[in-house]
Structure 1
Amino acid sequence: MSSAASTTSPAQRRGLTARDLALVAAFCALIVALVPVKVPVGGAAPIVLQNLGIMLAGAVLGARRGFLAVLLFVVLALAGLPVLASGVRGLAILTGPTVGFALGYPLVALVIGLIVQRFLPRLHVAAAIGACLVGGILVSYALGIPGMAWRSAKLDLAGAAAFSATFLPGDVVKAVVAGVVATAVHKALPDLVPVRRR
């Protein structure tokens, strides 16, 4: 019995289980469900919750499953489904000013997941929020701003950075919310993300 367990255990770690696939699909659906949610902020552009779902995918599911959930979301957008908050779909994503943000979303989830996993099983809220700030803002903006400057006829790099900065307060709030939620989830479900023993 022990030899059979040792044979199946490594395979399960490398492959995706039915539970993994279900979680990937569920979080992809969550991101899609959050896309139409817009919070008005005075006369400024409304806050969209799409990237909150992306932060949650990485922080809750971990690096691999979070990456796959968000990658599936991006694939759906590239396939032509109207799942992006910008309204852009299909191959038009590759020529639009949000190309860097859209294609960078899976990496955002990956980075957040990698940071969160380093603190499991004793994840504390400051670490979870920090992971969401690094991935959801630093990584996202580092990819999105150059893409905006590249594809926009009106904005150079400085202009793209200034425009993106208007969304920074809302993104900080979303990172805090994602970090708090992820911490609560991992406390309630400590085995949700397998922890590698060193």
Structure 2
Amino acid sequence: MEKNIAYIALFAALIAVLGLVPQITLAFGIPVTAQSLGVMLCGTILGARRGALAALLFVGLVALGLPLLSGGRGGLGVFAGPTVGFVVGFPVAAFVTGWIVENWRAPIGAAAGAGALIGGVVVLYAMGITGFALVLGKSWMAAAGVMAVFIPGDILKVGLAIIITQGLAKLRPASILSRP
């Protein structure tokens, strides 16, 4: 039990630390950050339940006002801004990523890649685009068109998630909790 709590806290901290990587903010207010890589790693390494709890802990700390999002953002105002769908999508994306890695019996690299792509990109974008469209009063398709510029960076993050997860699995197989 204590070990699970420590992993959850550690990966919530990882998401926060990845927010310190310098962000690039595009003209329409959505920053390009490394935090979604942390969400992907929550799922690929911790699995569905623990990964989602780590991302949920991170979101809860943001809601309490801690400036953990890239650019030092935090507080309830984040949940009224254009990034709301991404922020609330973090736990869902981590869960889906972890669920795929846990349940697909392919080699860890392939499972991590599929999980990170489906959970960390497709699911996170579906929620992020929906939030962006609702907050800014755009159609879903118009919002999706705006978000298309982020896809290459997120595909790069999927590649990093594969490399990190495979490397960790090779060096310390027991540390990949998504694989019982």
Structure 1 residues 150, 113: CA separation in 2 closer, same or farther (over 3 Å shift)? same
Q: Which runs of 5+ in 2 are unaligned?
A: none
- Identity in percent: 41
Which of 85, 89, 94 aligns to 2:79? It is 94
1:138 to 2:122 alignment: yes
Which of 171, 175, 198 aligns to 2:158? It is 175
Q: Distance in 1 between matches of 2:130 and 2:148?
A: 13
Structure 1 residues 110, 37: CA separation in 2 closer, same or farther (over 3 Å shift)? same
Q: Distance in 2 between matches of 1:168 and 1:89?
A: 25
3-state SS, counterpart of residue 174 of structure 2: coil
* Runs of 4+ more than 3 Å apart: none
Which of 30, 33, 37 aligns to 2:21? It is 37
- Determine the structure 2 residue equivalent to 1:105: 90
Partner AA of 1:190 in structure 2: P
Q: TM-score, normalised by structure 2?
A: 0.87
Q: TM-score, normalised by structure 1?
A: 0.80
- Determine the structure 2 residue equivalent to 1:27: 11
Matches within 5 A, 1:109-128: 109-119=94-104, 123-128=107-112
Q: 1:15-73 CA distances to partner (integer Å, 9 max, x unpaired)?
A: xx1111111111111111110202669x9x87421111111111111111111111110
Structure 1 residues 46, 148: CA separation in 2 closer, same or farther (over 3 Å shift)? closer
CA RMSD between the two structures: 2.3
3-state SS, counterpart of residue 70 of structure 1: helix
Q: Which runs of 5+ in 1 are unaligned?
A: 1-16
Count of residue pairs the alignment pairs up = 176
Point out the structure with max Rg over C-alpha.
Answer: 1
Q: Distance in 2 between matches of 1:46 and 1:161?
A: 15
How far off its partner does 1:194 sit? 6.8
